[in-house]
Structure 1
Amino acid sequence: MSLVLGALLGLGLLLVVSPVLWPARRSETRASLATGRIRDELALAGLARVPMGVIIAIAAFLGIVAGALAQAVFAIPVVTFVAAVLGVVLVPIVVRARATRRRAANRAVWPDVVDHLVASVRAGMSLPDSVGALAELGPAATRSAFASFEAEYRRTGNFSTCLDALKGALADPVADRILETLRMAREVGGSDVTAVLRGLSGYLREDAALRAEVTARQSWIRNAARLGVAAPWLLLLVIASRHETIVAYDSPAGTALIIAGVVVSVIAYQAMVALGRLPEERRWFH
């Protein structure tokens, strides 16, 4: 009996410490999720075909240039380091901002995409032809992706594989829902696909209108966050034109002050943005 209890105790302890002893799968999952998010951001920003190495090289180049300029102007090591870091992170910031703007712009066109699909299906066109027709009839922002789908489908004739490629090119959760609805209708059949698409179109219009209203009301939060972060550093640039100021910051106390200012600025900006950020839909079907 004691042997059984000892074995159970050992098994329980092993299960308790197993996440610490074997975290490889979990870390791989997190790494794959992070990679997928980066690819989605690049696709939304229109940079899906740009190799990751090129983006990293551009970020490193901007960091070197920003650090060199800061060193030439201020000759303060901590300022040089901060400028180099800002130069590196400038590329991800620009990519994310462009992806956010494009996601917001696409949110307004998805109802039109669904309406075109409904009209094509009701006219008797097949689902692949209805999707391919969006290369000419759909909104301008999405025509290139649907044109690639049409060309790929004519080449392979595999609707499911082409849908997967189209989802990757659009990189949008709303597009995933629309395309998965078409995939289900293609595979299992059904006469209610137009009714489902019409209901989805109505929901997307209501959601887009609500988000636009809330975003307009909360725009002051984002503007206040940007002004609050930029103002101290602009003031630092102004007073740094005097030699006495540069000498004061080129000391252990000045270095500590600048580092503390950077940390506080980042935390405050992230907190302000989090207060004004609307929850984004996640991609469940990619």
Structure 2
Amino acid sequence: MTESGALIGFLLGLGLLLIWRSGTRAPAPSAKRPGRQQQLLAAAGLTGINSAQLLALQIGLGLLVTVVVLLTTSTVTVSLAFGLFGFVIPHVQVRRLADKRRADLREVWPEVVDNLSSAVRAGMSLPEALSALSTRGPEVLRPPFARFAADYRSSGRFGAGLDRLKADLADPVGDRIVETLRVAREVGGTDLGRVLRTLATFLREDARARAELETRQGWVVSAARLAVAAPWVVLLLLATQSTTLSAYDTPMGTVILVGGGAVCLAAYRLMLRIGRLPQDVRVLQ
């Protein structure tokens, strides 16, 4: 009886241990997702710069503009206002580069998909088809695919190479293409060629429609920039009259500068929102 009880207790304890071991486990730690600033730099193609370096550039340029305007006008509030503009300029330039790169990629993605579709029909494997784009693909996209080819040759891990490729491309269309190839690799099937041809047709239609809309609405962005820049250019021209600028060092002058800057910023953001077309979001990154 004692031996039977011990055996039952042992089996019960073993069962409880197995139940505990099969329970929900904490997920494996994943790589930290890049911040919005780092994603913006990647979208602009500035992969060699991190967000800390961009912030240092903004601070340095802001201080430089502040000192130059202060030495020119001897007015603290005006120099601080233009120093703030100097601080914002690098971020604005990076955003413009990101928009330009996104527009350039929008024109070449159909060619990439066509090359992949042709390679699949020719019987090439997916790693070979992607690696071939490093020599046959569009010039602007050859470096990311060349890095993928080097990664795959060195490690042989297709999934890890796709993750690195997505990070290098930093584009919503690239994410969709990569995930389509990943699913085709893992699940298999004979519909990949048809899916790629359909995607190429959709991308061409989307690029054509966006080009027409951006041409028609480009005046909105130009008008917003002109409306924001005009009063500050006039203020800078007043730098030759020190008696006029000295009024901005008073409390009332400071209030006017701050209020004017806030109104200009709000109006600029509003006009950009009105004139900006919806952008694809990287939901598959």
Question: Shorter-normalised TM-score: what interval?
Answer: 0.7 to 0.9
Q: Name 2:251's counterpart in structure 1.
A: 252
Per-residue Cα deviation, 1:262-282 (whole angstroms, up to 9, x for no partner): 001000000001000011111
Residue identity matched to 2:127:
P
Q: Name 2:97's counterpart in structure 1.
A: 98
Confirm whether residue 234 of structure 1 aligns to residue 229 of structure 2: no
Per-residue Cα deviation, 1:31-80 (whole angstroms, up to 9, x for no partner): x9994332221112222122333222222111110110111112222222
Q: Name 1:87's counterpart in structure 2.
A: 86
Q: Name 1:72's counterpart in structure 2.
A: 71
* Distance in 1 of aligned mates of 2:168 and 2:77: 41
Q: Name 2:275's counterpart in structure 1.
A: 276
Structure 1 segments (4+ residues) deviating >6 Å: none
Write the mapping of 1:135-284 to structure 2, written as runs, cut at 5 A: 135-284=134-283
Residue identity matched to 2:133:
L
SS class of match (1:285) = coil
Residue identity matched to 1:251:
T
Q: CA deviation at 1:248?
A: 2.1
2:41–2:50: 8 Å Cα contact kept in structure 1?
Answer: no
Q: Name 2:47's counterpart in structure 1.
A: 48
SS class of match (2:35) = helix
Residue identity matched to 1:142:
L
Q: TM-score, normalized by length of structure 2?
A: 0.86
Q: CA deviation at 1:238?
A: 1.7
Name the Cα RMSD after superposition.
1.6
Q: CA deviation at 1:249?
A: 2.0
Per-residue Cα deviation, 1:199-235 (whole angstroms, up to 9, x for no partner): 0000000000000000000011011101101111111
2:78–2:248: 8 Å Cα contact kept in structure 1?
Answer: no
Count of residue pairs brought into register by the alignment: 255
* Distance in 2 of aligned mates of 1:137 and 1:121: 14
Q: CA deviation at 1:239?
A: 2.5
Identity in percent: 45
**More deviation, 79-88/208-217:** 79-88
1:40–1:168: 8 Å Cα contact kept in structure 2?
Answer: no
Residue identity matched to 1:152:
D
* Distance in 2 of aligned mates of 1:78 and 1:249: 6
Per-residue Cα deviation, 1:116-150 (whole angstroms, up to 9, x for no partner): 00011111100000001000011011100000000
Q: TM-score, normalized by length of structure 1?
A: 0.86
* Distance in 1 of aligned mates of 2:54 and 2:226: 28
* Distance in 2 of aligned mates of 1:34 and 1:219: 33
* Distance in 2 of aligned mates of 1:213 and 1:52: 34
Give the unaligned 5+ runs of structure 1.
1-31
